[in-house]
Homo-oligomer: A and B are copies of this chain.
């Protein structure tokens, strides 16, 4: 029979930190801390296997669970000298969830379990603190009713508010024991109305209710959303553990308190403990953001012994876990207890600084430091911040806590649904809430930034925003938010839904209007991490860039060449599209060549600029790809206007537009098929590329042009086009009398190209995977149309991810692997890269490393992400 429950406490534990998958992160760390001699209230953990068995077995517990829980309760009674359900010396427990993957705020917690009116009265007597006893009870009744019995917590707020207004009380701390007793009576009445039965008094009933609620919370909507947003793979990390732990009380009086702290600053990474606490409070008070807590430094004055002990524990934990820790603690009648530790969430700048510092402190190696940073988060560092000069011209309407750095500019919205809808409609939004709760997750994800009126640096809004890399200003207490009226007021300013505001997450400032932004200066820590990444990575990192501006940005971010320059973007420019359209409506090769002759000097100049910026690094230029139809106008009015401008009849132009119309243009006359029908277009482009290169070489520059032919599906297409293009190249090089290395290769974006890569590789110097098209055709999903059903597919878990975002390694990846093997089999020199949008996705980059690609190419801002991902892939492979 498998062991289901694991005891911890008194420096002895049945589990340890290595058993995260079995005991959840919280349970494993409680066990570990107990072993380390850190003062942890004793308790036991019901393993995640119980949760798994429960969902697999038609929502039934394993048969032996009850027996094991009972045995552990006995042990806990022995350890604490108290008795569960006893009147005289009652054992109270907390019941908390704890999955292997950290899911803050997602799972439900119940404190003070074991109370009923008799026990409360007994505690009031024993402690001589009836207010504490009744306060603890009302908290329990409220939590239990809400979490276990699903009664809306606003109904309970109403009871408190009524008592407060009757007695003109403002703060919870001003409530007396009698007041709380009145509140409890009110709560229980609500419970009876809602449930048609009395609130349960029996401790064991309460315990099993709570266990059921924790296990049930694994599949609540918020938890599911969180797992989706954070790419938590349920096949690997399934289920939550249940931690049952003896209560310690932060609300026993003025010498009690509770707090949360980070061992280093989670926002900046500075190596100083950073935390908040409240005296005479229970843990939820701090996290929920209802009362604004005190800074950790103040504890030195409130209780110096506890403060020093806490710092010593922080040090011990960091050395033990070799990472910055996020710690929950409680002081009960002056005595310090640690309730939880875990690796702390941090902003991107903090994660970089902490990683570099830990290497300097010799706690971790460079490789470990690289693995500690989520590549996706680097993105935050690279994006603009508010322009310090421009800021002065804008009015700061409020200042809150700088809870998560960065700039956020958008239209104010006051609920999560609106945030999501507006975002989908293409608007940038700032989500403004009095305080956020787990129900707001989707809205926070959709927003550019989050502003709250209440809560501290460790409030829900702050923690989640940091995790998401969103800018957040929390606890801006001067503002009054009305979600109902969709506005907030601060002094005489009213900001309504849709008004533009700007947040500075690094200072906590809130501005009216849209403050201009500037590009960030990257810290020395960033450069250090990048230099380490380059040291370990095997994959090259190139960029997709069509303009000098993009090429320069990417080059500044460390791109090692251009992996994809889309020439059609150059065709669309306003001053060129006229000549392009002339070319398209040409009836003869001669007319077409005349129009192409006008485009030629512009294209040549484009390429010269790109070559210059890339300073001798390889530049891969793709020949014209989209259907010609895309360049023509489509409405009657536009066609009439263009026809007039071009001096041809409306009928002629309209007929041309019609003749180019396709039912499925994605699989139509585009890519190399255009070059085969109109070789003069490809010839013009190739001549422009090679002349540009020749002229620069004459000027003494180094240039390595790579000509990429799109949409090849059959080696004969390649042969045929090379027969057209190679003579143009040879002639041009001869005309300029230079020597030049150049390459001709192909996109691999048609399934058949991958399937016949051994044939195509005989004619190609390189392959570049066009995974956008390859995904479209492998799945038969039109990217333009799949939106209609892809949502259903993700909701129904038919697909684990949007395959246009993260590469489908199972199907599309199999084609890529085939192509690499077949291609290298006949052409070992074959250079292979990827230039689809997946090229900047960390998971995809790791796959590309695994199958032996030479490089990835991504958009300029993704270059650092790709460099780090590539390094992680190389390091993980060795591990």
A: which residues have CB within 8 A of B? 662-669, 673, 676-677, 711, 713-714, 716-717, 720, 749-752, 755-756, 759, 773, 776-782, 784-786, 788-789, 792-793, 796-799, 808, 810-812, 814-815
Of A664, A716, A759, A799, the most chain B CB neighbours within 10 A belong to: A664
Q: Assess whether B778 is in contact with A751, with CB atoms less than 8 Å apart.
A: yes
Q: Is A714 a contact of B751 with CB atoms below 8 Å?
A: no
Closest to A773 in B: B780
6 further interface pairs, Cβ-Cβ under 8 Å (given A667-B780, A751-B811, A756-B810): A663-B666, A667-B781, A669-B789, A751-B780, A752-B811, A759-B810
Q: Which residues of the partner chain B approach A797 to less than 8 Å between Cβ atoms? A: 716
- Name the distance in Å between A827's Cβ and chain B's nearest Cβ: 18
A713 and B752 contact, Cβ closer than 8 Å, known pairs A676-B792, A793-B676: no
Q: List 30 A-B contacts (CB under 8 A).
A: A662-B782, A662-B784, A663-B666, A664-B666, A664-B782, A665-B785, A667-B667, A667-B779, A667-B786, A676-B792, A676-B793, A676-B796, A676-B798, A677-B792, A714-B779, A714-B798, A716-B798, A750-B779, A750-B780, A751-B777, A751-B811, A752-B778, A752-B779, A755-B810, A755-B811, A756-B810, A756-B814, A759-B810, A773-B780, A777-B777
Complexed CA–CA distance, A677 and B773 (Å): 24
Residues in B neighbouring A779, C-beta threshold 8 A? 667, 713-714, 750, 752
Q: When the two chains form their complex, are residues B751 and A667 in contact, meaning their CB atoms are under 8 A apart?
A: no
- Cβ-defined contact, A666 with B667, below 8 A: yes
Interchain CB contact under 8 A, B782 and A668: yes
A813 CB to nearest B CB, Å: 9
**Centre residue among A667, A668, A780 by max chain B CB count within 10 A:** A780
A792→B673 CA distance, assembly (Å)? 9
CB of A716 within 8 A of CB of B789, answer no
User: Chain B residues near A755 (CB, 8 Å)?
Assistant: 778, 810-811, 814-815
Minimal beta-carbon separation of A78 from chain B (angstroms): 49
Rounded to whole Å, the gap between the CB of A38 and the closest CB of chain B is: 45
- Tell me, in angstroms, the Cα distance from A799 to B755 when the chains sit together: 16
CA distance A811 to B754 in the complex (A): 9
A815-B676 CB under 8 A given contacts A664-B665, A716-B797, A799-B716:
no
Q: How far is the CB of A680 from chain B (nearest CB, A)?
A: 14
* A824 CB to nearest B CB, Å: 18
Q: Is the pair B799, A714 in contact by a Cβ cutoff of 8 Å?
A: yes
Q: Are A677 and B717 in contact (CB under 8 A)?
A: no
Complex Cα distance, B299 from A3, in Å, reads 106
Flag if A664 contacts B785 (CB, 8 Å): yes
Ranked nearest first, the 4 interchain pairs of A and B with the lowest CB-CB distance are A664-B782, A667-B782, A752-B811, A668-B785
- Assess whether B777 is in contact with A669, with CB atoms less than 8 Å apart: no
Do A796 and B664 touch across chains, with their CB atoms under 8 A apart?
A: no
Does A780 lie within 8 Å of B711, measured CB to CB? yes
Report whether B664 and A798 are in contact in the complex, using a CB–CB cutoff of 8 Å: no
Residues in B with CB closer than 8 Å to A786 are 667-668
Contact B673 A789 (CB under 8 A): yes
Bound CA span A217–B315, Å: 92
A658 to nearest B CB, angstroms? 13
The contact of A713 among B677, B780, B815, by CB within 8 Å, is B780
Give A752 to B812 CA distance when docked, in angstroms. Answer: 7
